[in-house]
Amino acid sequence: MIDLKVTSLAAVTALATSLAAHAETTALEFPAAPTLVAEETIERAAFAVPNGPFNAETGDVEAITAIDGMAVRAWRFPAGGMTTGAVASDLVTQLSGQGFEVLFQCESWDCGGFDFRYAIDVLPEPDMHVDLGDFQFISARRVSDGKPEYICLVVSRGGEFAYVQMTHVGGISDTPAPAVLSTKSATPAEVDDIADVSAPASGDLAALLDTKGRLVLEDIHFATGSSELSERKAPSLAALADYLRAHPDLRVVLVGHTDAEGSRAANLAISRRRAAAVADALVGEFGVPAARIAAEGAGYLAPRSSNLTPEGRALNRRVEAVVLPLD
């Protein structure tokens, strides 16, 4: 896996001008003014282009190895109500218009969730934010003069912002690819109110899961460094159990999160224990079959609030529920 380190724009430009490959620049349009938050250009590298989901048997992602010049860029822009799926769909349309053919496209848990996210190359926070329950991945290929060129996109959301990372292998121009403000307006089908996925009252929980597919279990609280549940019979757990009983064709993935106190490894372990504690309560207190529950952890890599304040850290110590079709 390539070590993606952010370098200065001056260093990137100097290195880019030395590349041998000069092809048409791939430009992206965004629905709001984007901010380029990270950029790196590598003169020649071997890069694994994912063309399939995470394979639990092999412990890896199926990929094509591409060896060429590589540029990695990440942007952030106000999402304005657009879903991650809508942003990704628009970018796929743009790539198709520039002659790229999609090799592989997936979303969140269909990609392989946590395992897929950490098997691919993604710039670190805060430059690139990936919500494990709400991200999309696209890989695409274009052949020019018999030479292949690859694009990999990771798209996600965090708060009011959308995040896009583009890895471009081959066909690297000596001028960084621009990102411009689209003149198109989002259609009603592309707009969704996704600002709040907190667990509401029991009657509304089902509606939220039906429309969003996930929610935060707001009445479950954790102390820093602890995986002990504040309430094993919390109303949100009862409502989630009722929802699963009413939908026998669905399962739930519980994703634990932490604040940023402590090491990444320690927080990853804590987040998994938090999800496991919620799973244990669903089984033990509400009789949900264990086979319909999975527990994962994201550590501190998907904050919902600032880790610079006690209030923000408290919000980040949480468990989210994501409903998926039963295998």
Q: What is the pLDDT of residue 32?
A: 87
Matching residue, tokens 């066909």: 171
The pLDDT assigned to 127 comes to: 84
Look at residue 171 in the predicted model and tell me its pLDDT. Answer: 67
Position 5 scores a pLDDT of 35
Indicate if 186 and 279 belong to the same structural domain: no
Domain co-membership, 46 together with 129: yes
- Is residue 195, in this structure, part of any structural domain at all? no
181 and 283, same structural domain? Answer: no
Q: Please check whether residue 249 lies inside any domain of the structure.
A: yes
Residue 275 shares a structural domain with residue 296: yes
Cα 161 to Cα 147: distance, rounded to the nearest angstrom: 36
- Token pair, residue 185, equals 């307006």
> Measured between alpha carbons, how far is 98 from 109 in angstroms, rounded to an integer?
29
Tokens of 130: 């990936």
Nearest one of 64, 149, 154, 140 to 103, comparing CA atoms? 140
| pLDDT for residue 132 | 86
pLDDT in tens, the chain (327 residues): 333 333 333 333 333 333 333 333 467 888 888 999 988 888 777 788 999 999 888 888 888 888 888 899 999 999 888 899 999 999 999 999 899 999 999 999 899 988 898 888 888 877 889 988 899 999 999 998 888 999 999 999 988 899 999 999 986 544 445 554 444 443 333 333 333 444 444 457 888 788 778 888 988 999 888 998 888 899 999 999 999 999 999 999 999 999 988 888 888 889 999 999 999 999 999 999 999 999 998 888 888 888 888 998 999 999 999 888 886
Task: Tell me, yes or no, whether 239 and 106 share the same domain.
Answer: no
Q: Are residues 14 and 118 in the same domain?
A: yes
pLDDT at position 289, please?
94
CA-closest candidate to residue 73, choices 20, 132, 30, 117 = 30
Q: Identify the burial level of 43 via C-beta atoms within 10 angstroms of its C-beta, where 0-12 means exposed, 13-18 middle and 19 or more buried.
A: middle
Total structural domains within the chain: 2
Q: Residue 141's closest CA among 215, 63, 226?
A: 63
Q: Tell me phi and psi for residue 132, to 5 degrees.
A: -60, -20
Q: Cis (ω within 30 of 0) for the bond into 325?
A: no
Helix (H, G, I), strand (E, B) or coil at 149: strand
Same domain, residue pair 225 and 267: yes
Q: Are residues 179 and 231 in the same domain?
A: no
In a domain, 196, yes or no: no
Q: Which residues contact 201 (CB under 8 A, 6 or more apart)?
A: none
Exposure on the CB side of residue 275, measured as CA atoms within 13 A: 24
Give me the pLDDT at residue 172, please: 55
**Residue-number span of the structural domain to which 274 is assigned:** 202-325
> Cα separation of 258 and 264, whole Å?
10
**Predicted pLDDT at 324:** 87
Residue 278 falls inside a structural domain: yes
Nearest alpha-carbon partner for 119 in 188, 27, 192, 49: 49
- Residues 223 and 113 both lie in one domain: no
Report the candidate in 86, 85, 90, 15 with the shortest Cα–Cα distance to residue 45: 15
**What CATH number does residue 254 fall under?**
3.30.1330.60
- Specify whether 43 is located in the same domain as 181: yes
pLDDT at 185: 40
